[in-house]
Amino acid sequence: MKTQLRFKEGQDYPEQQNGSPKAFFHDPKYRDMSVNARYLYMIFTLRMTESQNKGWIDDDGNMYIIYSDEDLMKEMHCKSCTVDKLKNELVEFDLLSMERHSNHLYPLHVSNSYSH
């Protein structure tokens, strides 16, 4: 199983400052990822950076978000099946971990395997 890189409380993440990581445009790993999945990742990471202020930190110091499908449907102007498809796409690209029993969504670090 691949190690998931969750965001930790109190750390800075400069790659998330502008919402859309450079790796989405340069790393071949993300070439086939849909624009809507990239947008959803941006929504999640922006919410996550706010989560430190809301106390959404698990017992291991990992930041998570809570975002209902209904709210995501409104935010993205789409149906529930589209939200599910996009979340699953992020999981496939190792950009999201979901804990259904707690409704916690853990956005994960973008890999930086591309060379400048």
- pLDDT, tens only, 21-80: 888 888 999 999 999 999 999 999 888 877 666 778 888 888 899 999 999 999 999 999
With respect to residue 4, please indicate whether it lies within any of the assigned structural domains.
Answer: no
Least confident of 6-20, 72-86, 87-101: 6-20
Does a structural domain hold residue 69? yes
Model confidence band, residue 1 (pLDDT cutoffs 50, 70, 90): very low
With contact defined as beta carbons under 8 Å apart, do 66 and 103 qualify? Answer: yes
Q: Is residue 6 part of a domain?
A: no
> What letter represents residue 81's amino acid?
C
* Residue 95 included in any domain: yes
Whole-prediction pTM: 0.83
5 in any annotated domain: no
φ, ψ for residue 25 (rounded to 5)? Answer: -100, -20
Q: Is 86:37 a contact under the CB 8 Å cutoff?
A: yes
Decide if 86 contacts 42 (C-beta within 8 A): no
More confident residue, 52 or 94: 94
Among left, alpha and beta (phi > 0; psi -120 to 50; other), residue 52 is alpha
Do the domain assignments include residue 71?
yes
**Angle (nearest 5°) at CA 64 between 52 and 70:** 110
Per the domain annotation, does 58 fall within a domain? yes
CB atoms within 10 A of CB 70: 10
Give me the number of domains the chain comprises.
1
Residue 57 located in a structural domain: yes
Which range marks the domain in which residue 48 is found? 37-107
pLDDT for position 18: 57
